[in-house]
Amino acid sequence: MISKNNLKNQDVITPEYDSNGRLVRKIRSFVLREGRLTKGQELAIEQFWSLYGITYKESRIDFKNLFKNDNEVVLEIGFGMGSSLVQMALENPNKNFIGIEVHKPGVGSCIKQIEENNVKNLKVICHDAVEVLNSMIDDKSIDKFQIFFPDPWHKAKHHKRRIIQQAFVQLLLRKLKEGGTIHLATDWENYSEHMLEVLSSFKILRNLSQTNDFIERPNERPLTKFENRGIKLGHKVFDIKFQKSYKEL
Protein backbone atom coordinates (compact mmCIF):
# COMPACT_ATOMS: atom_id res chain seq x y z
CA MET A 1 0.00 0.00 0.00
CA ILE A 2 1.32 3.44 -0.87
CA SER A 3 -1.47 5.64 0.49
CA LYS A 4 -0.56 8.47 2.83
CA ASN A 5 -2.81 7.10 5.58
CA ASN A 6 -2.13 9.76 8.18
CA LEU A 7 -2.77 12.72 5.94
CA LYS A 8 -6.17 12.64 4.31
CA ASN A 9 -9.12 11.05 6.05
CA GLN A 10 -12.80 11.64 6.71
CA ASP A 11 -14.28 11.28 10.16
CA VAL A 12 -17.98 11.65 9.36
CA ILE A 13 -19.55 11.51 5.92
CA THR A 14 -23.16 12.38 6.68
CA PRO A 15 -24.35 15.47 8.58
CA GLU A 16 -26.90 15.01 11.35
CA TYR A 17 -29.75 17.42 12.17
CA ASP A 18 -32.05 17.87 15.14
CA SER A 19 -35.86 18.09 14.96
CA ASN A 20 -35.57 21.79 14.07
CA GLY A 21 -33.27 21.12 11.16
CA ARG A 22 -30.13 22.43 12.89
CA LEU A 23 -26.80 20.80 12.20
CA VAL A 24 -25.75 18.54 15.07
CA ARG A 25 -22.56 17.02 13.75
CA LYS A 26 -20.46 18.39 10.91
CA ILE A 27 -19.02 16.50 7.98
CA ARG A 28 -15.27 16.47 8.34
CA SER A 29 -12.73 15.64 5.66
CA PHE A 30 -10.10 14.15 7.94
CA VAL A 31 -9.06 12.49 11.18
CA LEU A 32 -6.22 14.56 12.58
CA ARG A 33 -3.12 12.58 13.52
CA GLU A 34 -0.65 15.38 14.07
CA GLY A 35 3.05 14.78 13.67
CA ARG A 36 5.91 16.92 14.90
CA LEU A 37 7.12 19.85 12.86
CA THR A 38 10.77 19.92 11.90
CA LYS A 39 12.65 23.15 12.55
CA GLY A 40 12.63 23.87 8.82
CA GLN A 41 8.88 23.32 8.51
CA GLU A 42 8.14 25.44 11.57
CA LEU A 43 10.38 28.24 10.33
CA ALA A 44 8.76 28.15 6.88
CA ILE A 45 5.30 28.63 8.39
CA GLU A 46 6.50 31.43 10.69
CA GLN A 47 8.37 33.33 7.98
CA PHE A 48 6.29 32.76 4.86
CA TRP A 49 2.69 32.11 5.90
CA SER A 50 1.76 35.70 5.10
CA LEU A 51 3.03 35.19 1.54
CA TYR A 52 1.72 31.72 0.73
CA GLY A 53 -0.86 30.84 3.37
CA ILE A 54 -4.57 31.60 3.48
CA THR A 55 -5.95 31.75 7.01
CA TYR A 56 -9.37 30.18 7.44
CA LYS A 57 -12.22 32.60 7.92
CA GLU A 58 -15.88 32.66 7.03
CA SER A 59 -15.58 34.87 3.98
CA ARG A 60 -15.21 34.09 0.30
CA ILE A 61 -11.83 34.05 -1.42
CA ASP A 62 -11.51 36.45 -4.34
CA PHE A 63 -9.26 34.45 -6.66
CA LYS A 64 -8.71 37.34 -9.05
CA ASN A 65 -7.47 39.54 -6.23
CA LEU A 66 -5.48 36.73 -4.62
CA PHE A 67 -3.53 35.73 -7.74
CA LYS A 68 -3.77 39.02 -9.66
CA ASN A 69 -5.15 37.25 -12.74
CA ASP A 70 -8.17 35.41 -14.17
CA ASN A 71 -6.46 32.06 -14.71
CA GLU A 72 -8.29 28.82 -13.95
CA VAL A 73 -8.15 27.53 -10.39
CA VAL A 74 -7.13 23.99 -9.42
CA LEU A 75 -7.90 22.95 -5.84
CA GLU A 76 -6.20 19.93 -4.29
CA ILE A 77 -7.54 18.40 -1.09
CA GLY A 78 -4.95 16.64 1.05
CA PHE A 79 -1.63 17.42 -0.62
CA GLY A 80 0.51 15.49 1.86
CA MET A 81 4.03 16.92 1.98
CA GLY A 82 3.31 19.06 -1.08
CA SER A 83 6.00 17.89 -3.51
CA SER A 84 3.69 16.91 -6.37
CA LEU A 85 1.51 19.99 -5.90
CA VAL A 86 4.54 22.29 -6.04
CA GLN A 87 5.74 20.50 -9.17
CA MET A 88 2.34 20.93 -10.84
CA ALA A 89 2.32 24.63 -10.03
CA LEU A 90 5.82 25.05 -11.45
CA GLU A 91 4.93 23.19 -14.64
CA ASN A 92 1.66 25.10 -15.11
CA PRO A 93 2.38 28.81 -14.56
CA ASN A 94 -0.85 29.76 -16.35
CA LYS A 95 -2.97 28.01 -13.73
CA ASN A 96 -3.61 28.96 -10.11
CA PHE A 97 -3.39 26.29 -7.41
CA ILE A 98 -4.94 26.07 -3.96
CA GLY A 99 -3.88 23.26 -1.61
CA ILE A 100 -5.81 22.24 1.51
CA GLU A 101 -4.10 20.12 4.15
CA VAL A 102 -4.69 19.71 7.91
CA HIS A 103 -1.33 18.06 8.60
CA LYS A 104 0.94 20.93 9.74
CA PRO A 105 4.25 19.21 8.89
CA GLY A 106 2.92 18.81 5.35
CA VAL A 107 1.88 22.45 5.23
CA GLY A 108 5.30 23.52 6.49
CA SER A 109 7.03 21.30 3.95
CA CYS A 110 4.92 22.68 1.11
CA ILE A 111 5.52 26.31 2.08
CA LYS A 112 9.25 25.63 2.32
CA GLN A 113 9.24 24.22 -1.21
CA ILE A 114 7.16 27.12 -2.52
CA GLU A 115 9.71 29.59 -1.19
CA GLU A 116 12.72 27.60 -2.40
CA ASN A 117 11.29 27.31 -5.91
CA ASN A 118 9.87 30.84 -6.07
CA VAL A 119 6.39 29.54 -6.91
CA LYS A 120 3.98 32.39 -7.61
CA ASN A 121 0.76 30.52 -8.39
CA LEU A 122 0.20 28.36 -5.31
CA LYS A 123 -1.44 29.13 -1.96
CA VAL A 124 -2.14 26.76 0.94
CA ILE A 125 -4.82 26.46 3.60
CA CYS A 126 -4.39 24.52 6.84
CA HIS A 127 -7.96 23.64 7.79
CA ASP A 128 -10.75 21.09 7.28
CA ALA A 129 -11.58 21.02 3.57
CA VAL A 130 -15.34 20.76 4.10
CA GLU A 131 -15.43 23.94 6.18
CA VAL A 132 -13.19 25.71 3.67
CA LEU A 133 -15.45 24.72 0.78
CA ASN A 134 -18.60 25.77 2.59
CA SER A 135 -17.30 29.07 3.97
CA MET A 136 -14.58 30.30 1.63
CA ILE A 137 -15.23 28.98 -1.89
CA ASP A 138 -17.90 30.45 -4.16
CA ASP A 139 -20.22 28.11 -6.02
CA LYS A 140 -19.09 27.34 -9.60
CA SER A 141 -15.67 28.92 -9.05
CA ILE A 142 -13.27 25.94 -9.26
CA ASP A 143 -12.03 24.56 -12.59
CA LYS A 144 -10.62 21.34 -11.19
CA PHE A 145 -10.64 19.35 -7.96
CA GLN A 146 -7.95 16.77 -7.33
CA ILE A 147 -7.66 14.27 -4.49
CA PHE A 148 -4.73 11.89 -4.73
CA PHE A 149 -4.25 8.82 -2.52
CA PRO A 150 -6.73 9.58 0.29
CA ASP A 151 -6.87 7.16 3.21
CA PRO A 152 -8.57 4.01 1.84
CA TRP A 153 -9.98 2.89 5.20
CA HIS A 154 -9.57 -0.63 3.87
CA LYS A 155 -11.57 -2.43 6.59
CA ALA A 156 -15.21 -2.79 5.56
CA LYS A 157 -16.46 -1.41 8.88
CA HIS A 158 -14.51 1.80 8.21
CA HIS A 159 -15.65 2.38 4.61
CA LYS A 160 -18.10 5.03 5.80
CA ARG A 161 -15.09 7.17 6.74
CA ARG A 162 -13.81 7.40 3.20
CA ILE A 163 -13.76 10.95 1.95
CA ILE A 164 -15.29 10.07 -1.42
CA GLN A 165 -18.95 9.76 -0.54
CA GLN A 166 -22.19 11.06 -2.03
CA ALA A 167 -22.47 14.05 0.31
CA PHE A 168 -18.87 15.14 -0.24
CA VAL A 169 -19.03 14.84 -4.04
CA GLN A 170 -22.28 16.81 -4.01
CA LEU A 171 -20.38 19.59 -2.22
CA LEU A 172 -17.59 19.47 -4.80
CA LEU A 173 -20.13 19.72 -7.60
CA ARG A 174 -21.61 22.88 -6.10
CA LYS A 175 -18.21 24.52 -6.17
CA LEU A 176 -17.13 23.17 -9.58
CA LYS A 177 -17.62 25.19 -12.75
CA GLU A 178 -19.60 23.74 -15.62
CA GLY A 179 -17.07 21.85 -17.70
CA GLY A 180 -14.79 21.49 -14.68
CA THR A 181 -13.22 18.18 -13.68
CA ILE A 182 -12.71 15.95 -10.64
CA HIS A 183 -9.50 13.89 -10.71
CA LEU A 184 -8.99 11.12 -8.14
CA ALA A 185 -6.20 8.58 -7.68
CA THR A 186 -5.80 5.62 -5.34
CA ASP A 187 -3.67 2.51 -5.04
CA TRP A 188 -6.47 0.47 -3.46
CA GLU A 189 -8.58 -1.38 -6.04
CA ASN A 190 -11.57 -1.68 -3.71
CA TYR A 191 -11.53 2.07 -3.09
CA SER A 192 -11.13 2.77 -6.81
CA GLU A 193 -14.30 0.79 -7.48
CA HIS A 194 -16.08 2.71 -4.73
CA MET A 195 -14.89 6.05 -6.19
CA LEU A 196 -16.07 5.02 -9.64
CA GLU A 197 -19.47 3.98 -8.31
CA VAL A 198 -19.99 7.23 -6.38
CA LEU A 199 -18.99 9.55 -9.24
CA SER A 200 -20.95 7.51 -11.80
CA SER A 201 -24.11 7.98 -9.73
CA PHE A 202 -24.23 11.67 -10.63
CA LYS A 203 -25.89 12.26 -14.00
CA ILE A 204 -24.21 15.65 -14.25
CA LEU A 205 -20.79 13.96 -14.34
CA ARG A 206 -19.26 12.30 -17.40
CA ASN A 207 -16.47 9.75 -17.13
CA LEU A 208 -13.53 10.86 -19.30
CA SER A 209 -12.27 7.29 -19.59
CA GLN A 210 -12.83 5.77 -23.03
CA THR A 211 -13.67 2.49 -21.32
CA ASN A 212 -15.98 4.08 -18.72
CA ASP A 213 -13.74 3.11 -15.84
CA PHE A 214 -10.14 4.30 -15.29
CA ILE A 215 -7.73 6.50 -17.22
CA GLU A 216 -3.99 6.22 -17.69
CA ARG A 217 -2.05 8.45 -15.32
CA PRO A 218 -2.06 11.82 -17.11
CA ASN A 219 1.19 13.76 -17.40
CA GLU A 220 -0.42 16.53 -15.35
CA ARG A 221 -0.23 14.32 -12.26
CA PRO A 222 3.45 13.92 -11.29
CA LEU A 223 4.72 10.47 -10.44
CA THR A 224 6.05 10.87 -6.91
CA LYS A 225 8.93 8.88 -5.41
CA PHE A 226 6.45 7.45 -2.92
CA GLU A 227 4.14 6.24 -5.68
CA ASN A 228 6.98 5.02 -7.89
CA ARG A 229 8.31 2.88 -5.05
CA GLY A 230 4.90 1.28 -4.67
CA ILE A 231 4.64 0.58 -8.39
CA LYS A 232 8.01 -1.19 -8.29
CA LEU A 233 6.58 -3.37 -5.53
CA GLY A 234 3.71 -4.34 -7.80
CA HIS A 235 1.04 -1.96 -6.52
CA LYS A 236 -1.41 -0.81 -9.16
CA VAL A 237 -2.56 2.80 -9.25
CA PHE A 238 -6.03 3.81 -10.44
CA ASP A 239 -6.75 7.27 -11.87
CA ILE A 240 -10.33 8.44 -12.27
CA LYS A 241 -11.41 11.63 -14.01
CA PHE A 242 -14.93 12.96 -14.49
CA GLN A 243 -16.19 16.18 -16.07
CA LYS A 244 -19.17 18.23 -14.97
CA SER A 245 -21.73 18.82 -17.68
CA TYR A 246 -22.06 22.27 -19.19
CA LYS A 247 -25.79 21.92 -18.70
CA GLU A 248 -27.38 21.38 -15.32
CA LEU A 249 -29.37 18.13 -15.32
pLDDT digit string (tens) for 1-33?
444 443 333 333 334 434 343 344 454 544 445
Residue 34 forms part of a structural domain: yes
Residue 10 forms part of a structural domain: no
- Count of domains for the chain: 1
| Residue 139 assigned ligand-binding role | no
**CATH at 127:** 3.40.50.150
Residue 1 forms part of a structural domain: no
Query: What is the model's pLDDT at position 224?
Result: 80
| Residue 30 assigned ligand-binding role | no
**Which of 248, 227, 229 has its CA nearest to residue 239?**
227
Note down the domain range covering 102.
Answer: 16-244
- 143, 151, 213, 239: the catalytic one is 151
**Are 223 and 229 in contact, with CB atoms under 8 Å apart?**
no
Q: How far apart are the first and last CA of the chain?
A: 38
Active site residue 70: no
**Are 41 and 82 in contact, with CB atoms under 8 Å apart?**
no
Query: What is the model's pLDDT at position 231?
Result: 87
Q: What is the pLDDT of residues 35-89, one digit of tens each?
A: 689 999 999 999 999 999 999 999 999 999 999 999 999 999 999 999 999 999 9
pTM of the model: 0.85
| Residue 101 assigned ligand-binding role | yes
Residue 212 forms part of a structural domain: yes
Characterize 162-179 residue by residue with b for buried, 16 or more Cβ atoms within 10 angstroms of its Cβ, and e for exposed: bbbbeebbebbbebbbee
Q: What is the pLDDT of residues 161-181, one digit of tens each?
A: 899 999 999 999 999 999 999
Residue 4 forms part of a structural domain: no
Residue 144 forms part of a structural domain: yes
| Residue 131 assigned ligand-binding role | no
| Residue 63 assigned ligand-binding role | no
Residue 7 forms part of a structural domain: no
| Residue 232 assigned ligand-binding role | no
